[in-house]
Structure 1
């Protein structure tokens, strides 16, 4: 069983017209006969500002605390107390994150190391700020599933391109014993996008279908001069189920969903409704007959459509 070690810290409140020259803390288990003396290192703590941390304490229980301040030969003491309970085991060492990078299809790779002694589980967090107030992903990996490489799937279009992400991890030595957080590593999420020429129909025509929009004598199947021709980006090198469609021509590029598609809209006619309703169908110029269904709210390709340009 790991030995428990607790860290006790406190601030000192005092008023002095002259600089304090020495500060000392004394602590002991209640009813013990001898205090442990701890000279507080320089610089002298600033009143109500500096956090003083005692050496690690191994024995649980209730402790007496006494703090002595000195100005040359004049001293003053103040008594207090603290309680030691169950603390982090010494052997519950924090993980170390080695590196983070982005591979094909927007899969983030995180390499990290963990001391496997007393390894119950590992938790990692990803946030868009260094204080980890805006956490975008949290995952717990059981110790039996530990691997020094973690693959993080974040290609759902919810993270804007060029977003700086922050990573940290900690070790669970048991259900109740946790290590400190690891070092924080950050990197800029720069999505790899692949350009395509494609024909798109907005969700405004969901009740009509993409192949015969009779009102405008238009069709997604017409190649060449077609108002439905758009330049897009994909998150995959080939069109496929699960790919996300992005704009092509914005800085930065944005997911092809309502609110981001003003450049797709004409003032009237068949090439309308994109910015309000999103893309419903898409056909890529390289594929003469295949039409894909698209989730208009996210810009994700759902599957090959029942509609086709085969004649």
Structure 2
């Protein structure tokens, strides 16, 4: 990242068993010239635009493309420079120590900043690809921990609309006072957990109705729940997505649109709609309404 008053530069990482025969950088947007950087690249992998011709004269986003060639073999890579913020030498890059995914759907980021003296704000992004292209970024947040710094940031999978069981990447940067912003940290890869699974439920006053549970017809009610532990089994605790056990009082407080039978008597039968190695959507379970625990697998009935 660069600013109009700073030297704009970028670093090229490559491996080649043969000498580079062609190396150029081209301004794509706004359209601009192509510069030969072969001699500069032979000296240092960091290319300073002022060493060629700095065509960046105003704040904005500049899209560039680097082309490297060895004889007839060519590779190209595009990137962007966001001009208008200068990376101050005192605005150091934060570091992500660890990402933990908890069973209640919380992603906990353990991170570090060098000092809070010049801390204006922090920003992080979560993406489906380590390249962090705009179309791959699924969640971002800026402004947290700007006054009361804590080393841990909780990210709620439900509120962030973060997909279950997906390989994701996260990175962080620091905004400094009086001005300046750090580079992005190295990204950290992690696998998201399960923050909820949809299920058809019948209350404690309803008869066991196979068709209702299998097809979601009345009086079955569709709701999202979580499990402790993740996979359904005898003794597994069914919880609401706020983390509380799926018992009548909690259903009444949290699932206000649920049928009155569920609010009064809780869940008696349940069928989970997820289909994977942990969940079989053809199975129906009997639940203890007063605790929310799975009591038994109804072995004499299946949806298919």
TM-score, length-scaled by structure 2? 0.48
Greater helix share, structure number: 2
Greater Rg by CA:
1
TM-score, length-scaled by structure 1? 0.47
